């Protein structure tokens, strides 16, 4: 079941520096209450699919690099990023996962255990599309 047309605003926050960046603001479709589909604005226009569950989230971006991320709350995982130069593996630890009607949110760390890590939060803010 597909919901009414919506807009999504995707914001990424660097939790180490506090810097916030709007990745895109565009039309989207939410299916089944837990799947999100949109195409990023900007020159690349990459399609993105997000699926959120109570304990996990999958984020798949199809651009120059194919970046599927499967993040499980409070668990370490490995994301494999496929580029023209080969496949790179990045270790992740998911520290927060929330889903409300108006916002989905995930926070995660990138890096190996015991090493300094980059920490990020991605938020998807929803609102009804204007007619």
Mean pLDDT per 10-residue section of the chain, whose length is 131 residues:
75 96 92 92 86 95 81 90 83 94 95 82 90 59
What pLDDT, on the 0 to 100 scale, is given for residue 45? 84
Q: How far apart are CA 52 and CA 56, in angstroms?
A: 6
Contact predicate 42/65, CB 8 Å = no
What pLDDT, on the 0 to 100 scale, is given for residue 89? 85
Structure pTM? 0.88
Angle at 33 between CA 55 and CA 104, to 5 degrees: 55
Q: How far apart are CA 105 and CA 43, in angstroms?
A: 25
Within 8 A by CB and 6+ apart from 19, the residues are 13
């Amino acid at each position: 079941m597909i919901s009414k047309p919506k807009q999504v605003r995707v914001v990424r926050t660097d939790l180490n520096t506090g810097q916030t960046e709007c990745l895109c603001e565009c039309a989207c479709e939410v299916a089944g209450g837990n799947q999100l589909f949109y195409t990023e604005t900007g020159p690349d226009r990459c399609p993105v699919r997000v699926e959120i569950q109570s304990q996990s989230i999958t984020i798949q971006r199809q651009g120059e690099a194919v970046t599927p991320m499967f993040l499980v709350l409070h668990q370490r995982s490995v994301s494999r990023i496929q580029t023209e130069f080969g496949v790179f593996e990045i270790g992740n630890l998911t520290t927060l996962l929330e889903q409300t009607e108006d916002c989905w949110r995930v926070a995660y760390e990138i890096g190996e255990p015991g090493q300094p890590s980059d920490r990020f939060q991605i938020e998807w803010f929803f609102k009804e599309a204007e007619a």
